[in-house]
Amino acid sequence: MSSEILINVKPHETRVAYVDGGILTDLKIERKTSPTLVGSVHRGHVIRVLPGMQAAFVDIGLDKAAFLYVGDIREDVDSDSYPFSDIDRDEVLGSEPESDNHPSTSQQNKTPIQDLIKEGQSILVQVAKDPLGTKGARLTTHISLPGRFIVYLPTVRHLGVSRRIENDETRENLRHMVQKINPQGGVIVRTAGEGATEESLRSDIEYLDRLSKEIFKNYEKKKTPGMIHQEPEVELRALRDLMNEDVSSVWVDDEEIHKKVVKFVSQLMPKYKQNVVLYEEKKPLFDLYDIDIEISRSMERKIWLKSGGYIVIDEAEALVVIDVNTGKFVGKKDLEDTILKTNLEAVREIAHQLRIRNCGGIIIIDFIDMEKESHREKVLDALAEELQKDRARTNIVSMSQLGLVEMTRKRIRPSLIKTLCEPCSYCEGKGYIKRKSTIANEIFRELERDAGILENKKTNIVVHCHAEVVDWIYEMEGESLEHIEKKLGKSVAFKIEPNYHIEQYEIFFV
């Protein structure tokens, strides 16, 4: 089934959609005002080392200090020479699946952070994760530079092959070719490198090796914290990572960006040059596959399934919770069959939504309870199969007897919700406001607390609050109002404040 890449360009925003068989399967959105920092390399200045957290705060020239964990620090970070290390990286920046035989740096690095870096020290760092919420960017000193066919790791000595290349003979041939080239740094062959020739791999390695040397020279020249290398724009990154033989067309709806894309493709992957097409129709590019409708759907909390069931997705700062419900679906045979069908349909939609929404971190899925062990295994297997299509690394931990699935998905950039939305200015992101009856009772309780103070004082009481609260009190809380006035020995007047938040009120004694 053929795929297409759609690049929609606006003055302040670029959107890239990967469409497979007419269905949106990947989406990247980048705004000029907040470009991603992932992959950018900086000269950093260590502000503070925290032995109790085995982490450090590093100034990289941003408003907020970045975060460096001990497991992301090379043992030889103090060295003034070109940085090489025998420590393997656990994570390759971007969404390329991890290679085989690639142990975690955090497991290997047992040296305390206070023995690795010092406050006031300058270090070469790369952004591994964008700032998120109250958290600053996450850094690593293990630099990785993605190319068309490989990821080059100038600070480690490692040779790996993407796990998505499953053929053993192909994997061995790729290893042999890279060993023959004998690169100075580490190399991980990407999925796109499956059919690459030795010359293609050599070209990638030589270019990225030159780039890494240029980065290190710029680091030595720069004397203050700041960026010394930045990843290409979102449209070029997307083509580098997503372009393959399955992509029949790359549509670009902007003439200048089209020229840039053609030049990029001609240099990096010339055989696909004829696939890049300038879109000149009046109909918006994303309307070809109703992508804007799909994006709007992916910003909803509740997602309906075709059967009549639905899923509810709640996203917190470091946790995503997904609840599966039968909804209107009543099934045909029995309850267990209905539950299984709903859960299996939900699995496909959940995997799809995780990709489109770019959810990351810890994910808890509450499937409908299944009594049969065989049904639980079937749902878990289906989820694992669907997640194999995901370019981001995922890991399913378990399914409990209650149908709760714990999993993780690698978080690199802010989710779709974080990118396109902001917390509600009225409820301040809580997702709810107090009932009018709750606010009325809060007012009455506060007046009760003042009863002793007001005793024998000739004062009038005026409550300033929202019109809806005043209407509620007069219509529904008349008895409560009479009770409090009797207790105070004074009448209570209300003044409507049009600009007040519904939860806001003030009590004045005149």
Beta bridge partners of 159: 187
Nearby residues of 269 by Cβ (< 8 Å), 6 or more positions away: 148, 239, 243
Characterize the bridge pairing of strands 13-20 and 3-10: antiparallel
User: Buried b vs exposed e over 453-466: b needs ≥16 C-beta within 10 Å?
Assistant: eeeeeeeebebbbb
Q: CA 23 to CA 19: how far, in whole Å? A: 5
CA-to-CA separations, 192 to 101, 242, 269, 436, in angstroms, rounded: 19, 8, 11, 59
Contact 144, 83 (CB under 8 A): no
Beta-carbon contacts of residue 26 (< 8 Å; ≥ 6 apart): 17, 18, 242, 355, 356, 391
The pLDDT value given to residue 95: 43
3-class SS string, 205-216 = HHHHHHHHHHHH
Q: How far is CA 330 from CA 302, 308, 327, 382, 461, in A?
A: 19, 8, 8, 22, 57
DSSP string, 197-246: -HHHHHHHHHHHHHHHHHHHHHHHH--SSEEEE-PPPHHHHHHHHH-STT
Around Cβ 84, how many Cβ atoms within 10 Å? 16
Chain centroid, CA 123 distance in Å: 26
pLDDT in tens, the chain (510 residues): 689 999 999 999 999 999 999 999 999 999 988 889 999 999 999 999 999 999 999 999 998 999 999 999 987 665 433 343 333 333 344 444 445 444 344 445 578 999 999 999 999 999 999 987 778 899 999 999 999 999 999 988 889 998 888 889 999 999 999 999 999 889 999 988 888 899 999 999 999 999 999 999 999 999 999 999 999 999 999 999 888 888 999 999 999 999 999 999 998 888 899 999 999 999 999 999 999 999 999 999 999 999 999 999 999 878 999 999 988 877 677 888 889 999 999 999 999 999 999 999 999 999 999 888 899 999 999 999 999 989 888 999 888 877 799 999 988 788 999 889 988 889 988 889 999 999 999 999 999 887 766 666 677 899 999 999 999 999 999 999 999 988 888 889 999 999 999 999 999 988
Q: Which domains does the chain have, with CATH numbers?
A: 3-34+235-292 (3.30.420.60), 41-230 (2.40.50.140), 300-420 (3.40.630), 436-509 (3.40.1260.20)
pTM as predicted: 0.83
Question: Given this model, what pLDDT does residue 79 score?
Answer: 43
Return all residues near 205 (Cβ < 8 A) that are at least 6 apart: 147, 150, 152, 178, 181, 183, 187
Amino acid (1-letter code) at residue 418: K
Residues 135, 55 contacting (CB under 8 angstroms) = no
What is the reported pLDDT for 212? 94
Q: Are 229 and 215 in contact (CB under 8 A)?
A: yes
